[in-house]
Amino acid sequence: MSILRDSPHLTDHDDGTVDEYRSFSGWAVAAMILGLLAPLALVNVWLSLIPLAGIVVAVIALVRMAVLAPALTGRKTALAGLFLSVLFASAAAADQLVYWQAMDREARRFANAWFAFLADDQPHKAHQLTLMPRYRQPLDDRLWEFYREGDPWREELEGYVEQPVVGKLLALGDRARARYHTTEASGRDAHSVAVRQLFTVTYYNTERGPTTFFVRLGMQRLPLEHQQAAWRMVHVEEVEP
């Protein structure tokens, strides 16, 4: 019998001994921590970076464990962190989509009200929509009294109706039809939401037939008390198609 054949070798270890030398992946731990913090993405849009970082870290952890197998463990932990990050990243994205769709609809209704006031020859009501909410008056039949002759607000209104787009829409009256075309931009800061939309205005011209021009509206959503809000018309301009 050979002595070498029966002698123990340094490489002869059972599985339990080998497992003792396998280390737990720090990347997997980090992925799990980020996954547990991922629900914060539903609180603030900037916190959506947490689940995105969690996805990246989890992928790095899984790749490292695959390359260095079997030296590293923690695959289940990394997968759990990845699942949480993907779940809440998707939830945050869906939440933002629903939110901005709601803002878009609100802005469109506000814009249609503004167009309707001008079509009905009520520029004083359209002008009210350009004011900060705290300065607005009730939009009723007594509103003309607010713009009485000689009052500074009357001068404001007269200057308002002299604006090119406002004057043009007033002159067209109910012959003009305003239709939503597209939302060009939207965003928000700590205090308000801003939406910029493009509308087509069509009217019948006796010489050229149906005629269309484009109007760009910049609108701002301002918070009020009791979780309410009011829209304000900030900018109006006619643009080339």
CA distance linking residue 215 with residue 239, whole number of Å:
6
Q: Based on the domain organization, do 171 and 217 belong to the same domain?
A: yes
Q: At what angle do helices 164-172 and 75-119 cross, to 10 degrees?
A: 60
Q: Is 124 part of a structural domain of the chain? A: yes
Q: Based on the domain organization, do 147 and 219 belong to the same domain?
A: yes
Q: Is 89 part of a structural domain of the chain? A: yes
Q: Based on the domain organization, do 136 and 180 belong to the same domain?
A: yes
Q: Based on the domain organization, do 221 and 128 belong to the same domain?
A: yes
Q: Is 106 part of a structural domain of the chain? A: no
Q: Based on the domain organization, do 145 and 201 belong to the same domain?
A: yes
pLDDT in tens, the chain (241 residues): 444 444 444 444 455 444 455 799 999 999 999 999 999 999 888 899 999 999 999 999 999 999 988 888 999 999 999 999 999 999 999 999 999 999 999 999 999 999 999 999 999 999 999 999 999 999 998 999 899 877 889 999 999 999 999 999 999 999 999 999 999 999 998 889 999 999 999 998 877 789 999 999 999 999 998 778 999 999 999 998 7
The residue range of the domain holding 162 is 120-239
Q: Based on the domain organization, do 89 and 129 belong to the same domain?
A: no
Q: Please measure the distance between the N-terminal and C-terminal CA atoms of the chain and give it in whole angstroms.
A: 97
Q: Is 229 part of a structural domain of the chain? A: yes
Q: Is 111 part of a structural domain of the chain? A: no
Q: Is 107 part of a structural domain of the chain? A: no
Q: Based on the domain organization, do 131 and 179 belong to the same domain?
A: yes
Q: Is 50 part of a structural domain of the chain? A: yes
CATH number at residue 234: 3.10.450
Q: Which residues contact 192 (CB under 8 A, 6 or more apart)?
A: 220, 221, 222, 223
pTM equals 0.77
Q: Based on the domain organization, do 139 and 80 belong to the same domain?
A: no
Q: Is 67 part of a structural domain of the chain? A: yes
Q: Based on the domain organization, do 128 and 231 belong to the same domain?
A: yes
Phi and psi at residue 183, to the nearest 5°: -100, 120
Greatest CA separation found in the chain? 123
What are the CA-CA distances from residue 167 to residues 130, 173, 208 (Å)?
A: 15, 10, 21
Q: What is the domain count for the chain?
A: 2
Q: Based on the domain organization, do 90 and 156 belong to the same domain?
A: no
Q: Based on the domain organization, do 52 and 89 belong to the same domain?
A: yes
